[in-house]
Chains A and B, each alone.
Chain A
């Protein structure tokens, strides 16, 4: 069964650095999402992406964040000038029109 793939599985970065989290959604899916889960908390919506543009973003998704689908297969989340509170698990997800959201295994981001 097709899977959503996320790399890296774990990223450690220093405060103030930029990170790029990568995702390869399922190939025939059209809707893409990023979610965040701070340790021990619920899964929070960050942004949705459709037709090569952001369709919705949450309050969390401020100017520090950006998303891109540079080549028709990858879907990236960039976090500029990381802060300690950005430490979390970041999940990518994709879906077709009527299918469930399929999640990747997540990237654990640790900001030191």
Chain B
């Protein structure tokens, strides 16, 4: 069975601190995709990043960076120099590669609520 675990329910930091959101996943598939979505207070789901299971290269996008480690089944997300606007719920998600038996549905973690205080 597929599963995504975000053990941190809530994190509170002061602006300009770095913060790492943890994500651990379980799957038996050899081809899969990992995602991070942001859900601001307005409620929409904003796509941040997708990584496929064959690409363990870490990625940096501005203040955001992602560390994908297949050996530990983890896909952690770091925000550098956090800002108040980063306050949101962040979801990690897992998806199998589309195929005859896979419908490509996303399995979400429970989400981590990040509060960045001024």
List residues of A whose CB falls within 8 A of some B CB.
Answer: 31, 33, 35, 41-45, 48, 50, 55-56, 89, 91, 93, 95, 97-98, 100-103, 105-106, 108
Contacts and interface: CB of A to CB of B under 8 A. Distances in A.
A55 B96 CA distance: 14
A42 B44 contact: no
Contacts of B37: 103
Contacts of A106: 43-45
Interface in B93-107: 93, 95, 98, 103-107
B12 to A, nearest CB: 17
B105 A33 contact: yes
Nearest to A101: B106
A93 B43 CA distance: 15
A45 B44 contact: no
Nearest to A39: B43
Interface in B2-59: 33, 35, 37, 43-45, 47, 50
Interface of B: 33, 35, 37, 43-45, 47, 50, 91, 93, 95, 98, 103-111
Q: Per DSSP, are chain A's interface residues mostly helix, strand or loop, or mixed?
A: strand
A21 to B, nearest CB: 15
A85 B104 CA distance: 27
Contact of A100 (B35, B43, B105, B111): B35
B103 A103 contact: no
B103 A44 contact: no
B43 A108 contact: yes
B47 A102 contact: yes
B108 A97 contact: no
B43 A105 contact: yes
